[in-house]
Amino acid sequence: MQFIRVFVIPLIILLVMVDMVFFRFLLKISRGIGIATYFWIVVIAIEYYAFQAFRALNHTKTGMWIYIIVHILLFGGLYYFSSTRKLSEFNFANFQRLVVLTTLFLVPKIFLTLTLMVDDFIRLFQYTFTSADTSEAIDIPSRRKVATWIGLGLAAIPFIGVLDGVFRGKYRYRVIRKTVFFDDLPDAFEGFTITQLSDIHSGSFDDKEKVDYGVKLALKQNSDVLVFTGDMVNDIADELEPYVDIFKQLEAKDGMFAILGNHDYGEYANISDRERAESVSHLQNMHKEIGFKMLNNDMHTIERDGQRLNIVGVENWGHADFFPKRGDLRKASEGVQEGDFNVLLSHDPSHFDHDLKDHDNVIDFEKKMHLTLSGHTHGMQFGVEIPGIIKWSPVKYRYHNWAGLYEEKGRKLYVNRGFGFLGFPGRVGMWPEITVLELRKKV
């Protein structure tokens, strides 16, 4: 029984945490609904180890009860708010605070858990070889207290990182420049530049000066076109109103173009169908006031020296059942001609290579979309990126195309990490992004 408690249960927990083959299978059969279930399984696994560490360092009943009550309130509140689909403004503010607290509690514990797991495997190794050398019953080696202290020390690093992400990281805008090569780029568009913004989520902002800085940084890129790939608001159009004048500073030589994301349809707001339709209409009018041409399953053609580059825009199309599927690639590309170069704006990157029957994906579509620009994932606002060394975020287990440049069947996709933030009011290691893409002909 002691062996099961000390080694078998932690091994099961380890498999649950790292077996992403199982995770992907769960997502496949549930089309994303299993994410919440899997989240709570992982939380329980982490708390199993965290509680052991706390118990090793605290021997008073009062301390144990405080620990238990605090976590019941924390996770109980998180479950309540996350299961309430329609949140009032008051509840949403409290939900955000709770998300910050949960992140501060949970993320450091991941590092603590991994440290204690390593110690458990060392203990298992010692127990196995000691048992093999003697026929007498022996006790399982106890967990080293130093392992708990090492784990707590490592946990302090992400704790500081989360605090930085909440207070500074969410406005740490960076410009990412990429040169993208194509065999069939028309000569007239050699060196053509595109600035991409995505997932502004204006309802989450709390500092106009920082937003203004980010907008000025995008304007400074002086690209040929500027595109926005959806999610201007969290829920309703009114969230954008305080920032319209800031975004009106944007301009581009050959125009600015925008599409809608899943949050722009008002489907997550506690409003009537009539109010939802009015919100979408008002939001698109504000897009136009800013200077964007809305591409609702439509396209815009730029001509140079008799050659054409099309900006094709579709409404939101998401693979999961709970995301709108309003994007119509056939309708949007009706005006595409042979020899055109096509840039597609599609908010959700799952549109690029999904496998749903009776729905077009981008990579197999008969009209070649040379470059698709998407957003939606936010890079989960949490991850580690060191160019050439590591690129990781938990969102990779939900979207295999989640940040940066991808290519399949000769068609390229770029996924922007997002300008704003949603839910968790911060960014840790996954900074807000302004993308600048330069189109070049492959020699």
Contact (CB, 8 A) for 418 and 199:
yes
pTM: 0.82
- Res. 18 pLDDT band, cuts 50 70 90: very low
Predicted pLDDT at 251: 97
Distance of alpha carbon 302 from alpha carbon 298, whole angstroms: 14
- pLDDT tens digits for range 175-188: 999 999 999 999 99
Between 134 and 421, name the one with better pLDDT: 421
So what's the pLDDT on residue 233? 97
Average pLDDT over residues 99-117: 80
User: Looking at residue 92, what is its pLDDT?
Assistant: 63
Max mean pLDDT range (68-82, 107-121, 289-303): 289-303
Higher pLDDT pick, 272 / 120: 272
Task: Report the first-to-last Cα separation within the chain, whole angstroms.
Answer: 67
Which one is predicted more confidently, 226 or 122?
226
Q: What local confidence, expressed as pLDDT, does residue 85 receive?
A: 54
Q: Strand, helix or coil at 136?
A: coil
Q: What is the pLDDT of residue 21?
A: 44
pLDDT at 29: 43
Residue 6 is given by DSSP the state I
Q: For residues 95 and 1, which has the higher predicted lDDT (pLDDT)?
A: 95
With a cut of 60, say whether residue 14 has pLDDT above it.
no
31: confidence class by pLDDT, cuts 50, 70, 90: very low
User: What is the rounded average pLDDT of the residues 136-156?
Assistant: 68
> What are the helix (H) ranges across 231-356?
244-247, 273-290, 329-332
- pLDDT score, position 104: 82
Alpha-carbon dihedral 424, 425, 429, 434, rounded to 10 degrees: 120
For residue range 343-395, list pLDDT tens digits in order.
999 999 999 999 998 899 999 999 999 999 999 999 999 998 988 888 988 88
- Cβ 300 vs Cβ 293: under 8 Å: yes
pLDDT at 335 over 80: yes
Instruction: State mean pLDDT over 63-68.
Output: 86
CB 43 within 8 A of CB 75: yes
Q: Mean pLDDT check: name the lowest of 23-27, 166-170, 176-180, 206-210.
A: 23-27
Mean pLDDT of 28-50: 66
**What pLDDT, on the 0 to 100 scale, is given for residue 19?**
43
Q: For residue 51, what pLDDT is reported?
A: 84
Confidence bin at 32 (pLDDT 50/70/90): very low
Report residue 106's pLDDT band, with 50, 70 and 90 as the boundaries: confident
Q: Which amino acid is at 422?
A: L
The predicted pLDDT at position 274 comes to 96
Give the separation between CA 292 and CA 250, rounded to whole angstroms. Answer: 9
